[in-house]
Structure 1
Amino acid sequence: MHDVIVIGGGNAALCAALTAKESGASVLVIEAAPKEWRGGNSQHTRNLRCMHDAPQDVLVDAYPEEEYWQDLLKVTAGKTNEHLARLVIRSTATCRDWMRKHGVNFQPPLSGALHVARTNAFFMGGGKALINAYYRSAQELGIEILYSTKIKDLKLNQGHFEAAIAEDGRVFKAKSCVLAAGGFESNLEWLREAWGQNENGEWPADNFIIRGTRFNQGNLLKFMIDQGADIIGDPSQSHCVAVDARAPLYDGGICTRIDCVSLGIVVNNKAERFYDEGEDFWPKRYAIWGRLVAKQPQQIAYSIIDSKAIGRFMPPVFAGVKANSIQELAEKIGLDVKTLCHTVEEFNQACVQGTFNHTVLDDCTTENIVPNKTHWAVPLDQPPFYAYALKPGITFTYLGLKVEDDAAVRFNNKPSSNLFVAGEMMAGNVLGQGYTAGVGMSIGTSFGRIAGKNAAHYALSQGVEHEC
């Protein structure tokens, strides 16, 4: 029997496993994916949002706790637990030294991501390198790892964990357990149920793209809900961004994200604008656009820029549709020519001349137009023009298990003595809606370490009984 079982194989799971091992526990990691697909959504990430009161290696200037909190408060519209949010924020001030100890390296942001040079630490080699570093460290420390092993349910006794049961019938007993198996974002049927039908009779989720892993089906989350665990969050809320409509159904990752939204206009399939493209810096606003597109007819939209925007955003993996006139562009992407030409002309006339600077909240705005564009509003007048078709891209869902600062799963507001949760399965405690770049990794790292430490503490308090 192991001291601690960790169910999951992404960032939160590995942080829990490594911390539990450091605390003296024997640890088994059970990952649903095969080895080549290990890591959950963490393999597609690239940075961690970090509090710091002074410049730190790859982080410039300062990003104090209060500013971090206000950023989180704004993007969630207050739907967050301040105590838990601040716990996460404070932990990011010190976690990077621990991450380095396990082989994670950092680098300055790449061109196109300079907005977050002050707030986010980028992983050298991206999320895949981070995951590989953690797995190497886990193996060196003697953590046992099982791949391609899907846990279907748990054996619980009044909230007390006794064993995990795999789909193939294998039973894994341990003194304590950490659940870090992700949300239900890969479960298309559950997404369809959560989003329902819209006023046009459409099922929006039928047109969603899953940015990350196909293995986060939410099986353990559903099991825990059925067992009466305390839950938090709206099943329709998620980290949902606008991605290239040509992206694959699963695992397209960050390279399918379209980052030029704030540098042009976005129209729906009626060739009409529907939201302020320049509301705030892109890292604070990119995660609202998936949901905005999901509410448009047929869940599709088009980001349109001119040649002035080229070089000012991270280029996506697929080239945009290119045309020498708005009329030609409309024809190529299948929009009504007259309507799109009118939309662009109306926008161009509404632009107020200012000093354009895409690195600050500039004074280039619009007037006498709805919706207004608050910043970076410059006429689309310099061909060639480019269009990117957008669809909603789900990263992870926010429905999860309710926790306090001990990361224990709760039943009727009473904490389990030996069952803990981390990562996407509890992120809804901090993220009720909205998102800002890098905060998911902050939550997973912080609560993974808390869960691992507490799971080990309980297991070791029960005496030594390692597996032979």
Structure 2
Amino acid sequence: MTQYDIAIIGGGNAALCAAMTAAEAGARVVILETAPKPYRGGNSRHTRNFRCMHSGPLGPLVDDYSEEEYLADLIKVTDGKTDEHLARLAIRTSQECLPWMEERGVRFQPSLSGTLSLARTNAFFMGGGKGLVNAYYRTVEKLGVDVLYEAAVIHLELDGDKIARVDYTHQGATHRIEPRAVIVASGGFQADTEWLTRAWGDPAKNFLIRGTPYNRGVVLADLLDQDVSSVGDPTQCHAVAIDGRAPKFDGGIVTRLDCVPFSIVVNKDAERFYDEGEDVWPKRYAIWGRLVAAQPDQVGFVIIDAKSLNLFMPSVFPPLKADTLEELAGMMDLPADKLRQTVETFNAACGDATGFHPTELDGVATSGITPPKTNWARPIVEPPFYGYSLRTGVTFTYLGLKVDDTAQCSTADGPIQNLWAAGETMAGSILGQGYLAGFGMTIGTVFGRIAGREAAAYAN
């Protein structure tokens, strides 16, 4: 049996960045990916872009995006719940990652139209996350990394300050290896709906899981049971409001709805419950999953009219369409009189919309209603009317492994000599709450590379 220097648990972006870095440093590496080959790549295959600091144009990115502006964007969405040292490390290192990614087969494209001015901050992958994942797998194979699919790690044996062995199942049998070093890059626990329900209570039973069904937190739970230091709150997660018709698992990016800023959103009682125009969508889309989760039956409903239909990226499911609000209410099982009253109250609170500008904060606001709408507030009057249902879609959970700036894990007694973590399984160190579009890929790339470098140095 091959003696591996490094075992990497997981098969997404962070795992692949770690594998490439370690193999390039001369380490003998195996990737243990729980998913079957067609579903390899974890949540990374559903991604679109990578948020990147840069001084001056870089690749597809225009102008510049400074460390301080990037950090300010992160502080705003997390409400300051971040480890600033690790956050700055991720931000600062992101600039050198883009050319590194290109050298390993990733191709970029100009930002998609309708993505609300991300051309300066986010570099879009040609072929999306699937294109990135496939490029990286081609590269790791050229580097001689062994990849085992449907290899489910069931236990890491922590003996004192070292991981002594890795137990996993593969092809119907249980196997045991004793690598010199281990990198955990196996994501959060969101696909274990029982764990999600223990954290959140019964509302979680109505949540949809946007990403892979294979991120069940098995390795995370195993390490936490052995008192490996954790970070983050089990109820905090990257949760967005997605189309209520999405599948229970793996709907991915296409189930996301970008229409909220140009709409009103009501609950099943046809009442508005939050400011739909609070900020540009890439900075605020990730709060809406929690907002919908707090509503009766964990559902919401988007109402727009004809003039707003072409202002956002089209969704995978067509909207419901009706000539009257009453007809739309019937299609959505909403109280018709109450919906009309809510829309009329909103319309009456809208002022002059001549400054309306769909891609930036325009200050076109309501007055005299609660909740207000602080941007893009235009009366909903032009038939046909359109509606979407919203459900909470969880991308990944933030309870994870606590790491230092070398991506190393620890217990209360000190560092674990040969254990590192990267990607969603440690992102809670930086994302205490909220989310910033493209930042998960930044964390995975930066800390995957760090973990690969450190593990290879230790193994060598």
TM-score, normalization by structure 1? 0.96
Q: Which residue of 1 aligns with 2:243?
A: 244
Structure 2 match to 1:464: none
**Cα-to-partner distance string for 1:285-315 (whole Å, 9 max, x where unaligned):** 0000011000000000001111111221111
Task: State the distance in 1 between where 2:426 and 2:295 align.
Answer: 29
Q: 1:363 offset after TM fit, Å?
A: 2.1
- The residue number in structure 1 matching 2:44 is 42
Aligned residue in 2 for 1:199? none
2:293 is the alignment partner of 1:294: yes
Show the counterpart of 1:7. Answer: 9
2:116–2:281 contact (8 Å) kept in structure 1: no
Q: Which residue of 1 aligns with 2:410?
A: 410
The alpha carbon displacement at 1:413 in A equals 5.8
Name the structure 1 match of 2:338.
339
Aligned residues: 454
Question: SS where residue 271 of structure 1 aligns?
Answer: coil
The aligned residue for residue 138 of structure 1 is 140
1:105 maps to amino acid: R
Q: Secondary structure at the match of 1:115?
A: coil
1:170 to 163, 175, 184: 175
- Quote how far apart the aligned CAs of 1:78 are: 0.7
- Work out whether 1:186 is the aligned partner of 2:202: no
- The match for 1:384 is 384
What does 1:396-407 align with in structure 2 at a 5 Å threshold? 396-407=396-407
AA at the equivalent of 1:64: S
Is the 1:23–1:456 Cα contact (8 Å) retained in structure 2?
A: yes
CA contact (8 A) 1:115 1:281 kept: no
Give CA-to-partner distance per residue, 1:245-301, whole Å, 9 cap, x none.
110111111110111000010000000000000000000000000110000000000
What is the match of residue 95 of structure 2? 93
Corresponding residue for residue 74 of structure 2: 72
Q: Which amino acid aligns with 2:369?
A: I
Q: Is the 8 A contact 1:178 1:421 kept in 2?
A: yes
The Cα of 1:192 is off from its aligned counterpart by 0.4
Does the 8 Å CA contact 1:49/1:120 hold for their aligned counterparts? yes
Q: Tell me which amino acid in the other structure corresponds to 2:450.
A: I
Q: CA deviation at 1:75?
A: 0.3
What secondary structure, in the 3-state scheme, does the structure 2 residue paired with 1:388 have?
A: strand
User: Root-mean-square deviation (CA), in Å?
Assistant: 0.8
2:124 corresponds to:
122
Secondary structure of the structure 2 residue equivalent to 1:116: coil
Look up the equivalent residue of 1:324 and give its one-letter code. D
Secondary structure at 1:139 match in 2: helix
The 8 Å contact of residues 275 and 371 in structure 2, kept in 1 or not, is answered as yes
Match of 1:153 in 2: 155
Structure 2 partner of 1:442: 442
* Residue deviations 1:150-189 (CA, integer Å, cap 9, x gap): 0000122113012110133200221101000110010000
The percentage of aligned residue pairs carrying the same residue is 56
SS in 2 for 1:190: helix
- 1:320 is displaced (CA, Å) by 0.6
The CA deviation at 1:110 is 1.3
**How far does residue 18 in structure 1 lie from its aligned partner after superposition?**
0.5
* Contact persistence 2:350–2:367 (CA under 8 A): yes
State the Cα deviation string for residues 209-241 of structure 1 (Å, max 9, x = none): 000100000000001100001111000100000
Misfit runs of 4+, over 2 Å: none
Q: Secondary structure at the match of 1:145?
A: strand
Question: 2:278: which partner in 1?
Answer: 279
- Gaps in structure 1 of 5+ consecutive residues: 197-202, 461-468
Whether the 8 Å CA contact 1:407–1:422 is kept in 2: the answer is yes
Q: Is the 8 A contact 2:153 2:167 kept in 1?
A: yes
Shift of 1:114: 3.9
Q: Secondary structure at the match of 1:417?
A: strand
Residues 116 and 280 of structure 2 are in contact (CA less than 8 Å); yes or no, is this contact kept in structure 1?
no
CA displacement 1:391-440 (0-9 Å, x = unmatched):
00000000001111011111116111111000111000000000010000
- Consecutive unaligned residues of structure 2, counting only runs of 5 or more, are none
Distance 1:342 1:326 in 2: 10
| Residue equivalent to 1:220 | 219
Offset of 1:372 from its aligned partner?
0.3
- Provide, for residues 326-354 of structure 1, a one-character-per-residue CA deviation record: whole Å limited to 9, x for no partner: 11111111100110000000000001213
Which residue number in structure 1 is paired with residue 114 of structure 2?
112
Contact 1:8 1:181 in 2 (8 A): yes
